[in-house]
Structure 1
Amino acid sequence: MRQDSDLLALFESLALAAGHEIMRHYEQGFAIERKADASPVTAADREAEKIILSGLCEKLPGVPCVAEENASLGIIPECGDAFLLIDPLDGTREFIERRPDFTVNIALIRHGTPVLGVVLAPARGLMFSGGSDGAFEIELRDGEMVGRTQIRARSKPASEPVILASLSHRTPETDAYIAKFPGSRVTSIGSSLKFCLLARGEADIYPRFGPTMQWDTAAGDAILRASGGMTRDLDGNPLTYGSREGTGFCSPFFIAEGAS
């Protein structure tokens, strides 16, 4: 496999190409379909995934790719110690409702840990990237990368933290957790951008007490870890990735936080 810097450059390039296709649908209109689990899907999801998988298969032949739309059709490769997790359009509900918080997510997993990740929010003109050299916010101009700035998660304050909550998947358990922090400020935002806000020090905690899939979180989690933060399960252990017996690529409940 290539050097990590080359892999991140590849992920960034493919995310931008997928983002261009997504925005074409966003601007021109699209039909909404339903998958077997009743979740929405559009041609933008499918076309973006084709772009990403085509590029990965060409540049990284033999590396297993677990991608949301293929997985929904039962197409899931055998994964060893290293594999890729792809969500071509995270936040499809935001996309459908014309909110700008949807993202393209590409992540590399090694030994259960998300080590490289790219998150692109094409409607916001934002891209984030993270790996062994740190986490970065990438400046975009007319859809092209023109510069990058290193970002760091901040230490959680002793009281009144800024808490991020899912916009489309708020649960009673989430509300009960937030109630433990009187005076905290709660911000709702969709998709993997929650991890990115933690990574650039704009928020402190993202509790997830609701269903989510590993391709939803892996890229943002990699960026958060590269910034000094961490995502843990409810037992306090770092969140791990890979197929689990009985649950596949479903994620357990977790809490993502800034620097300790």
Structure 2
Amino acid sequence: MEELHQQQRDAVLWLKLNRPQALNALTASLVDALTRAIENAQRDSGVRVIVLTGEGRAFCAGADLKDPARGSPEAGADFVKAIGALTEVIEASAKPVIAAINGIAVAGGLELVLACDLVIAAESARLGDAHSNYALFPGAGATVRLPRKVGLNNAKHLMFTGDMRPASAWMALGLVSEVVADDGFIDAVSALAAKLAAKSPLVLARMKQALNDALDQPAPIALRYERALSNLHHFSADRVEGLSAFKEKRAPKFQGK
């Protein structure tokens, strides 16, 4: 069975983890397939938005602890390193990546979510860190990204306890952008992805770059960087098209240039 199901709908690439019998736990081959799929999407001008989701009742239950690739401490460390590299590929993607949380998301699954740009969750979904429950230490970004998303004290409580919480609780913490009834979940994700795909891919890429970089910069430096990007963007074809469409009262046709 194919571990990663890929489907492109118009300008949206859907990547579905497809190991439902194992709660979509990550194997070395699945991590490799997902990494390659996102890297390939960066080179495909026909893809403007990426949606990451799971098959069955889980989004992703983290690393598959039964995977033969984790047979030794050295192999296990290499495997976690590969998951960490995957999260960096997601975070660095010039194209928006939406985490569509259809079900359980824990440990490495939560770390995938933390690397995504927007998070939309089904009402029944539950998320947690869970590493501490098995004396495991996260290696794919949880200690760095979680406090940036939900605050230091909340991150400590979530990581120390290993508790899972409903999607609504994570929305209150700021990680989840929207919680949707299960029966309308796919339609809601599709509508959000289509909305983003209709925008200028150039301006979204530049916004993502500036927003991500600003977190680690003093405000004066981040503001100078924003102004530099803004000045550069004045010479883009998409900006010209956007203004023309506004004046002519029509839908813009962006080329990403």
Common fold, TM-score beyond 0.5? no
More strand by share: 1
TM-score by length of 2: 0.28
Q: Which has the larger radius of gyration?
A: 2
